[in-house]
């Protein structure tokens, strides 16, 4: 099984930051947070990672079963192709091609399914995070709170005192730095490269 890549789902990295309405006369105050960091500190992250790992294993097991069937039938075809009548050989080749296509389609659907599963598992944690970002912003007078994560973060520079990540964690009753777990994105299940179905030619007796 492929190793897990330590990363967050796109839903987390593109997480909408809080915008809090305040009176126009209030001074502008901007804070920022790392959504990835805060999520990694939340107790939910361990459960999410465990569920994702279990789900990924289930998909990989299904894929391995398909691939084993393909290999077994492929080896049997190679051994007996020379003595098979043409119609039988053609049917066997078609069966192998269908199995190959089925494996490729399953790989694609498994990748999509993993992403959807991760988004579903992350949603409650992201909703909880949003509520606490809003609360911290209101309580501390922040007009805006930006997300510093991602390849192109909203925040390019900011003073340390503007980082409200620990305030958000404390608001949720979490001690910053106590949990080093990061939600992992499982790699899509992928066995060895599926070879193309063989087309064995035999000489026809004249």
DSSP label at 143? S
> Does the pTM exceed 0.95?
no
Looking at residue 187, what is its pLDDT? 55
Residue among 12, 11, 31, 10 nearest 20 (CA): 31
Nearest in space to 19 (alpha carbons), one of 125, 186, 147 = 147
Which residues 6+ apart lie within 8 Å of 104 measured at CB?
194
Output the pLDDT for position 145. 92
Q: Could you identify the residue written with the tokens 């790989």?
A: 107
**Percentage with pLDDT > 90 across the chain:** 60
Cβ(42)–Cβ(131) below 8 Å? no
Task: Give exposure, 54-73, as e/b (b: 16+ Cβ within 10 Å).
Answer: ebbeebbeebeebbeebeee
Express each pLDDT in 65-94 by its tens digit: 999 999 999 999 999 988 999 999 999 999
């Amino acid at each position: 099984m492929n190793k897990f890549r330590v990363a967050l789902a796109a839903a987390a990295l593109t997480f909408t930051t809080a915008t809090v309405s305040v009176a126009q006369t209030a001074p502008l105050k901007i804070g920022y947070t790392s959504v990835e960091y805060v999520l990694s500190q939340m107790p939910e992250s361990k459960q999410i990672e465990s569920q994702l790992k279990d789900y990924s294993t289930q998909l990989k097991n299904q894929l391995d079963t398909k691939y084993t069937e393909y290999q077994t039938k492929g080896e049997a075809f190679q051994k007996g192709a020379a003595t098979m009548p043409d119609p039988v050989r053609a049917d066997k080749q078609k069966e192998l091609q269908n199995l190959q296509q089925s494996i490729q389609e399953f790989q694609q659907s498994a990748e999509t399914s993993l992403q959807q599963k991760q988004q579903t598992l992350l949603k409650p944690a992201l909703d909880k995070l949003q509520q606490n970002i809003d609360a911290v912003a209101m309580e501390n007078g922040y007009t805006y709170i930006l997300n510093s994560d991602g390849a192109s973060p909203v925040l390019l520079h900011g003073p340390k005192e503007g980082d409200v990540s620990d305030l958000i964690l404390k608001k949720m009753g979490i001690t910053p730095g106590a949990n080093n777990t990061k939600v992992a994105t499982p790699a899509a299940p992928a066995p060895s490269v599926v070879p193309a179905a063989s087309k064995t030619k035999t000489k026809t007796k004249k």
